Structure 1
Amino acid sequence: MTGVVLPRQNIDRIRAGLSRMCVGVGAWLWGQHARFVLWLPVLLAAGMALYFTLSWEPSIIWAWGAATVVAGCVTARLVWGTGLPVRIGCGVLGAFAAGVLVAWVQAHHMPPFPDLPRRAVHLTGRVLDADAQVLRDGTPSWRVRLADVRFLDGINTGMPPLRRVLVLRLRPDDVCVPAPGDTLLARVMLSPPAFPALPGGYDAQRRAWFDGRAGNARALDDVTCRHGHAPSGLSARIASLRQTMAVRIRAALPGVRGDIAATVLAGADGAIAPGVRDAFADAGLAHLLAVAGLHLAIVMGLVMVGVRMGLALSERAALFWPCRQIAAVCALLAGGGYVIITGAHLPAQRSLFMAGLAVVALMVGRRVVSMRALAVAMTALLCLNAENVAELPLQMSAAAVMALIAGFDALRPYLSAWEHDVAWWRRIGGRLAHPLLASVLAGSACIPVGMAHFGTVQPWFVLANLLAVPLMSVWIMPWGLLSFVLMPPGWEKLALVPMGWGIGLVAWLARQVACLPVARIGVPAIGNGGLALFFAGLCWLCLWGGRGRLLGAVPVALALLSPWWGAQPVVMVSSDARMAGVVSGHVLLTGPGGHPDPFILREWQRVTGLEASVLPDDAGQGPLSCRDGTCRVRERDGDILLLLSARGPGRRSCRDARMVVNLSGQGGCPGVMVIGRFDMWRNGAYALYPDRAGGIRALSDRQERGARPWVMRPGGVGVPDLPMAQAE
């Protein structure tokens, strides 16, 4: 068979067409060259996300390779930096490799998890901070972070102190009021960071690894507090001040209003009752209970207005002083103090960093709020703590602020035209459109993130925010700032009582909106791939220029639909083999027993988006049948046997069985794959999925996470806390 030879003219036409296409693409990309720097945090985050999704740990050789790639890209950019392919190629590859390298370095910089005793043990430790908590049943309790923890029993006597922090929960009836700097002596039960409730679920061990936590402790008796030592160090003094402020706020405002005020003004974590927090979440007002950009903007805006009005009272200052710049610096200092007092959480840090850039821009006459400021802030936060790329606060903050800046940039000409229109109703509409657009843009951008982390959607968030956010801005936070001024002489109640009136109104609004029909819709959670697809589309919509940015709506829509495209698990088993879940129709059935673990149940409901019930003791012949402690889940190419009791399956039960999940111990069916207690102890939680061929695919947590620094060995075993060997 002879080949076909194209005429010379056709070859020249093809070459000319390709050349014109390359020129057009090059011109299109050169039109975006001013926006290339905005993609730096996106590529850094992509590299960090890749590192955390690996199922194996890169060795130091891979780290050196990533460092070499970064150095090579920087060198090539400096030497041959004028060409478009070099600029784009080196920027993309170098930033991506830098993200992987930063995440690897931070992960290997942390100390290993210690091997905690599995029995009741006496310990002593120094209090870093203490927060008053409200448990699920409504009882108050203290949660304390302990440093320099030493165990006082048996083989642990004389061992060096833990290099990680231990979180201790006191008994509800304990009379001890711990304060930063105190020394606690307690008898406790210890538990390492929890394994994921299912493969691909929330990884509490990774969060604890980067937070520096060793695990959790529960006091068995009343603890002994040794007071009298003044807090040493700036962080301890700030923690003591926060605790004192929270106590005085609750004394002036008892009940729910005081808890919310202490959260907003002193950063009291976990002080709000779960029922109240759930009502705020269902109404789309959960951001009001977390100190973030909204609160910081209100504080800085009020201080800036107050300082500028005060300077305007002086004729000399108004004529000769840079009043605007002075007011901006004072507002930034006040905002920094507010962030420190409230605990310096990640969203507040991000907002303060952007506020600092805005003040610098104002000082030099540049645009105050821009995508460049957001890019610089996100780059700094990612480099300080790479693990936050997988956490809710950073994702929510990035999505909301990016949508706000891009949305108002696109709509600014229309809003400005309405605000300066001759018709009065258009001028009023233009000003009223700002809070409405802010709620719609920020809330809509956060919907997919909420679907990924909570498995819920709150359709009424716009209505609730339109009423609650102005009330927070013009009434609640101004009285809260005034309470700071009145606290030294002890007159804070004069400001906290009016603040409580506004808080009560917002709490009432949250309850009313949460009671509306479909206020909270449970949906299957968006997976990691869908979340990455959403952020890719959102970044394209917000960071790209021209009409081509509208193409970003396609991956956003695909990400929103992704939970219904992927396969859902039909059977889930916890890592401790004490709880199993079966998806039957539109209900998640759990067992054995009627009291499932609340954390595991919430995680399973988040992934499936289903209401929960209890496995029946005796069910008929349907997709799910249970009898005598054995449940049969019928699938197209074989059944799944779920053994909940110690009896074991009979010969009749093994008929048509393709897989056996045994929670009770020994036993199974001849020639059938068995997942037993030892498999769960060794491999963690399991999830069974139907595959495309009609069979059953079993996925374990160990397969999903692999061998990573933060993945604990079977049973939660860590590194023994032994002293260093004596030098010869």
Structure 2
Amino acid sequence: MRLACHVRGGPRFAGGDYRPCGGASRAGWFLSRALTWGLSCLRGVLAAWLWGQNSRLVLWLPVALAGGIVLYFTLPSEPGGVAMAGAVLACAASLACRLLWPGRLVVRLGAGAVGAGAVGFLLAWGQAGRMPPFPDLPHRAVHLSGQVTGVEVQRLADGTQALRVTLHGVRFDDGISMGMPPLRRWLSLRLRADDPARPMPGDGLGVRALLSPPAFPDVPGGYDAQRRAWFAGQAGHGRALDRATVTPARAAGGPAGWLAGRRRMLAERIRTALPGPRGDIAATILVGADGVVAAPEREAFADAGLAHLLAVAGLHLAIVMGLVMVVLRTGLALSERAALYWPCRQIAAVGALLAGAGYVVLTGAHLPAQRSLLMAGLAVLALLAGRRPLSLRALAVAATVLMALNPEGVTELPLQMSVAAVMALIAGFDALRPALSGWEHDDVWLRRVAARMAHPLLASVLAGSACMPVGMAHFGAVQPWFVLANLLAVPLMSVWIMPWGLAALGLMPVGLEKLALVPMGWGLGVVAWLAHLVARLPMARMDVPALGNAGLCVFFVGLCWLCLWAGRVRLLGLAPIVLAVLSPWMAARPTLLLAPDARMAGIVTQGHLLTGPGTHPDPFALREWQRVTGLPAGLLPAQGTVGNVACHGGICRVGDIVLVLMPRPPAPGLCQGTGLLVNLQGTWGCDGVPSIGRFDLWRNGAYGIYRRADGGLVVQTDRAMRGARPWVMRPGGAGLPNLPLAQAE
């Protein structure tokens, strides 16, 4: 039998081509050749497409770095030595592949992505590992002493104000804790509202206080205060039961104490010249006075989408630096020699950066302001090097530096908001620059005016739209009128309020600050009026179900594709963005929520969240439950039926779930038809029926119970969601005892 027919070049073993004889074999040969040719063409097209993106591929390195950090935080348990060794080997292999095959684009892409992800994983692991463990705080009132390192004003619910101090080196002066080493973590302590003590940084403080560890999440997968406290170095918080005793520090507390005293003095002078809410807002944005703005005012600004005006961060720093740069460059231009021979632009940029650094220090050097100052410094360096100060490359460098310094910031609101807003602004204006430039130089004056007016409108739309899903994830709310409010408030803040504020700071040494504060107050009054007006509009604040962690990751992937990729294919990024925004309505809402302290339960029925027992639910747990569900709150009825919830004698039934809210013996027939028994007050249960009691909540944390489409129940617990991680405290909030290590057995 002849197996092959020779074609061109002789037999197969001689290097020639051949075709099989027979119809079926010949068809298969043609099919394989067509497939090979198609794959070759596809590979060539893909390579050409990727080479066209070659200059922008480096922008994806911070994305891969963030992916590695997120991977670490999503693990169910702490990675061991094998995982760490694998991450180190991945970094080494990526570097080797990059050096051995520099011309192969696919190898470069894979090596860069894997290497950056492994570096992010190692950075997050290293940051978590070098933090000291949580201490076991006393469960009763204790006398303590420590050194004050921070003081801020906190406005209480009744309108009064109290000081909240940050204490380092805390020692306990009661019982077995006497003589023990100081805590390695700091404490946040709220003094009594009637306490006349006015501690300053550097002072010693002693007081009797009641302490609490960082709170457990109120819902599985919800806000994790323990993780935030772990990376911040916080041991817990507390409130003073008696008046504090302050021991003044030597040398007035050093530079920190002197600066805190100056800030407090400046805040009092500002509030004296501008009494009322205007003075509170002015003190907040000029010297970083925390907690002085009343709650109704803060809520109005938040509902109007203007909450960022009350937080000293990127906007205020940009305004200060922009004003200083304009003044310096204009002043240098007045000198003929300076204008001709000096690098006026660079000098003005450096001066603006120094002024921005001074403003950040004056306002307390909060973490968001420090991040903004770092990004501003990178922009000034780019300007000095002759590069574009605002570009996606500069943003990539800034984001990489920020994540390297603080990997845990990837999971926090400030960094997510900053990156989303800046990336949308830069990419959006880059895409719209040809159209805007054409209109700005058009012969028709109406188009020129429209182009100038379009800049603030586009900035509000781009930044607000990019931050909206982030706000959905962290606040569970949407402010549809944010464009209208920011379109009027931000320009007023830039051209009127902050210039007068800086003038007031300059006039304070001679006691004439009121000349500038009064005009500043006029502008603040207009902004406050605008905030209240927008907050009263229909649907000014829409409560929506919170965007989950997976949905937030999908949103950022889509946003990065939309902003970092080039060409029309970038529009494909809109698909994951829309999917992420709609994902909260695709997921099922919980049927029953249980607080980790077993003091409150919530039932979702007929578009409402009903809580009990009692008429005064825990405000923190209720706020978190409303954020997750996006529903208005109500109270469970003492007697009667609401929707599918029937309550009688402290026992509520929703479907086959029985919820016992009051301490009482089991009622006859209670266990009939029961699929799940939740007993928050007693220890009894039903034979053969799954049950959840106080001990289960103590051991597993918050519960979320969901109903499947087939009627079955899915039970989620906080302990199962977070896993065994260093920041997940043991049941009851117990930490490591604050005892010295034994010298010998």
TM-score (norm 1): 0.97
SS of aligned partner of 1:230: helix
Q: 1:694 aligns with which of 711, 722, 730?
A: 711
8 Å contact from structure 2 (residues 606, 643) kept in 1: no
The answer to whether residue 675 in structure 2 is matched with residue 654 in structure 1 is no
Q: 2:98 aligns with which of 61, 77, 86?
A: 77
8 Å contact from structure 2 (residues 697, 703) kept in 1: yes
Give the match for residue 691 of structure 2.
674
Give the match for residue 17 of structure 2.
none
Give the match for residue 188 of structure 1.
209
Give the match for residue 535 of structure 2.
514
Give the match for residue 215 of structure 1.
236
Give the match for residue 409 of structure 2.
388
8 Å contact from structure 1 (residues 131, 271) kept in 2: no
Give the match for residue 358 of structure 2.
337
Q: Unaligned stretches of 5+ in structure 1?
A: none
AA of the residue aligned to 2:560:
C
AA of the residue aligned to 1:101:
L
Counterpart mapping for 1:392-431 below 5 A: 392-431=413-452
- C-alpha separation in 2, matches of 1:620 and 1:552: 47
- C-alpha separation in 2, matches of 1:234 and 1:103: 32
AA of the residue aligned to 1:664:
Q
- C-alpha separation in 2, matches of 1:272 and 1:454: 20
8 Å contact from structure 1 (residues 150, 159) kept in 2: yes
Q: 2:383 aligns with which of 362, 378, 382?
A: 362
AA of the residue aligned to 2:572:
L
Rg: which structure is higher? 2
- Are residues 274 and 543 of structure 1, via their aligned partners in 2, closer, same or farther at CA, if it must alter by over 3 Å? same
- C-alpha separation in 1, matches of 2:67 and 2:252: 41
8 Å contact from structure 1 (residues 231, 240) kept in 2: no
Kindly provide the CA deviation profile for residues 677-722 of structure 1, in whole angstroms up to 9, marking residues without a partner as x.
0000000000100124321111110000011000000000000111
Kindly provide the CA deviation profile for residues 108-153 of structure 1, in whole angstroms up to 9, marking residues without a partner as x.
1100100000011111111101001112232111110011111111
Q: Figure out how many residues of one structure are paired with residues of the other and give that number.
A: 722
AA of the residue aligned to 1:690:
R
Give the match for residue 542 of structure 1.
563
Give the match for residue 9 of structure 2.
none
The answer to whether residue 554 in structure 2 is matched with residue 533 in structure 1 is yes
- C-alpha separation in 2, matches of 1:68 and 1:489: 63
- C-alpha separation in 2, matches of 1:296 and 1:407: 22
**Cα shift at 1:353:** 2.2
- Are residues 248 and 126 of structure 1, via their aligned partners in 2, closer, same or farther at CA, if it must alter by over 3 Å? farther
- C-alpha separation in 1, matches of 2:141 and 2:200: 24
- C-alpha separation in 2, matches of 1:74 and 1:692: 49
SS of aligned partner of 2:672: coil
Give the match for residue 570 of structure 1.
591
Give the match for residue 560 of structure 1.
581
- C-alpha separation in 2, matches of 1:16 and 1:87: 25
AA of the residue aligned to 1:714:
P
Kindly provide the CA deviation profile for residues 373-423 of structure 1, in whole angstroms up to 9, marking residues without a partner as x.
000000000111111111111111111111000100000011011111101
User: Which moved further from structure 2: 228-237 or 711-720?
Assistant: 228-237
Kindly provide the CA deviation profile for residues 505-560 of structure 1, in whole angstroms up to 9, marking residues without a partner as x.
21111011100111001111110010100000000000001011000000000001
SS of aligned partner of 1:215: strand
Give the match for residue 716 of structure 1.
733
% identical equivalent positions: 64
AA of the residue aligned to 1:350:
R
SS of aligned partner of 1:270: coil
8 Å contact from structure 1 (residues 648, 668) kept in 2: no
The answer to whether residue 473 in structure 2 is matched with residue 447 in structure 1 is no
Give the match for residue 32 of structure 1.
53
SS of aligned partner of 2:378: helix
Give the match for residue 633 of structure 2.
612
Q: 2:186 aligns with which of 144, 157, 165?
A: 165
- C-alpha separation in 2, matches of 1:295 and 1:106: 30
- C-alpha separation in 1, matches of 2:195 and 2:484: 42
AA of the residue aligned to 1:528:
N
AA of the residue aligned to 2:512:
W
Give the match for residue 311 of structure 2.
290
Counterpart mapping for 1:581-600 below 5 A: 581-600=602-621
- Are residues 252 and 64 of structure 1, via their aligned partners in 2, closer, same or farther at CA, if it must alter by over 3 Å? farther
**Cα shift at 1:271:** 2.4
**Cα shift at 1:240:** 4.1
User: Which moved further from structure 2: 616-625 or 403-412?
Assistant: 616-625
Give the match for residue 138 of structure 1.
159
Q: Unaligned stretches of 5+ in structure 2?
A: 1-22
- Are residues 483 and 64 of structure 1, via their aligned partners in 2, closer, same or farther at CA, if it must alter by over 3 Å? farther
8 Å contact from structure 2 (residues 166, 189) kept in 1: yes
- Are residues 237 and 22 of structure 1, via their aligned partners in 2, closer, same or farther at CA, if it must alter by over 3 Å? farther
Kindly provide the CA deviation profile for residues 340-361 of structure 1, in whole angstroms up to 9, marking residues without a partner as x.
2223333323322222222222
SS of aligned partner of 1:616: coil
- C-alpha separation in 1, matches of 2:420 and 2:533: 28
Q: 1:198 aligns with which of 215, 219, 228?
A: 219
- C-alpha separation in 2, matches of 1:406 and 1:360: 21
SS of aligned partner of 1:553: helix
- C-alpha separation in 2, matches of 1:438 and 1:712: 43
**Cα shift at 1:607:** 0.4
- C-alpha separation in 2, matches of 1:248 and 1:146: 27
Q: 1:496 aligns with which of 490, 514, 517?
A: 517
- Are residues 338 and 80 of structure 1, via their aligned partners in 2, closer, same or farther at CA, if it must alter by over 3 Å? same
Q: 2:40 aligns with which of 15, 19, 40?
A: 19
- Are residues 160 and 489 of structure 1, via their aligned partners in 2, closer, same or farther at CA, if it must alter by over 3 Å? farther
**Cα shift at 1:254:** 2.7
SS of aligned partner of 2:675: strand
TM-score (norm 2): 0.95
SS of aligned partner of 2:733: coil
The answer to whether residue 117 in structure 2 is matched with residue 96 in structure 1 is yes
- C-alpha separation in 1, matches of 2:233 and 2:245: 25
- C-alpha separation in 1, matches of 2:737 and 2:566: 55
- C-alpha separation in 2, matches of 1:514 and 1:156: 51
AA of the residue aligned to 2:471:
G
User: Which moved further from structure 2: 304-313 or 559-568?
Assistant: 304-313
Give the match for residue 114 of structure 1.
135
AA of the residue aligned to 1:657:
T
Counterpart mapping for 1:639-650 below 5 A: 639-650=656-667
**Cα shift at 1:672:** 0.5
- C-alpha separation in 2, matches of 1:686 and 1:18: 52
8 Å contact from structure 2 (residues 200, 257) kept in 1: no
Kindly provide the CA deviation profile for residues 75-104 of structure 1, in whole angstroms up to 9, marking residues without a partner as x.
221222221121011011111111111000
- C-alpha separation in 1, matches of 2:720 and 2:232: 24
Q: 1:684 aligns with which of 701, 705, 708?
A: 701
8 Å contact from structure 2 (residues 285, 311) kept in 1: yes
Q: 2:279 aligns with which of 244, 258, 278?
A: 258
8 Å contact from structure 1 (residues 179, 243) kept in 2: no
Give the match for residue 67 of structure 1.
88
User: Which moved further from structure 2: 147-156 or 131-140?
Assistant: 131-140
Kindly provide the CA deviation profile for residues 429-483 of structure 1, in whole angstroms up to 9, marking residues without a partner as x.
0000000000000001111111111111101001101110111001111111112
- C-alpha separation in 1, matches of 2:38 and 2:255: 67
- C-alpha separation in 1, matches of 2:502 and 2:353: 15
- Are residues 448 and 725 of structure 1, via their aligned partners in 2, closer, same or farther at CA, if it must alter by over 3 Å? same
SS of aligned partner of 2:220: coil
8 Å contact from structure 2 (residues 593, 705) kept in 1: yes
**Cα shift at 1:43:** 1.0
